[in-house]
Amino acid sequence: MGRHVPGLLLASLGYAVATTIAKRTLGGLNPVGLATTQLGLSSVMLLPAPLIGPAPAPLTVTALGAVVFLGVVGSGLAYLLYYGLLARVSPTQVTAVTYALPVWGLGWGALAGEPVGWLSVLGVLVVLAGLGLINLPPRPRPLPA
């Protein structure tokens, strides 16, 4: 067992637990307000980090613009979608989107000219089938006799 496996398992568990708690406690709140609050507070918490040590690269207007763009377009939209979905579907369905990440990575790799083997295509089909199964409407349970 690799030395990073326990940390990965704990991170996965934390992600699942946090989504379940968010669904129970934040269900009626505005997704825009939730995303803005979460990203705003995390920005305030991380702000002292660049002041502690030397910058890995020069701080330019272009670099700051890139950080703002990635924060708003990348993280901002992602959290807006996350909380919007969480208001409408189960925590399992919300977190299932993470299974699609390797599919996106494979697609971007193919666009960059990386070879895509048949096992990779089979893996994509398995992931898509799993996502389809997760999103099937629940079957009615038979009444007890």
pLDDT (0 to 100) of residue 114: 93
User: Model pTM greater than 0.85?
Assistant: no
pLDDT (0 to 100) of residue 70: 87
Which residues fall within 8 angstroms of residue 131, CB to CB, at 6 or more apart? 96, 99, 100
Give the pLDDT band of residue 25 (cuts 50, 70, 90): confident
Task: Pick the more confident residue, 51 or 127.
Answer: 127
Looking at every residue in the chain, the average pLDDT score rounds to 83
* Side-chain-facing half-sphere of 16: CA atoms under 13 Å: 8
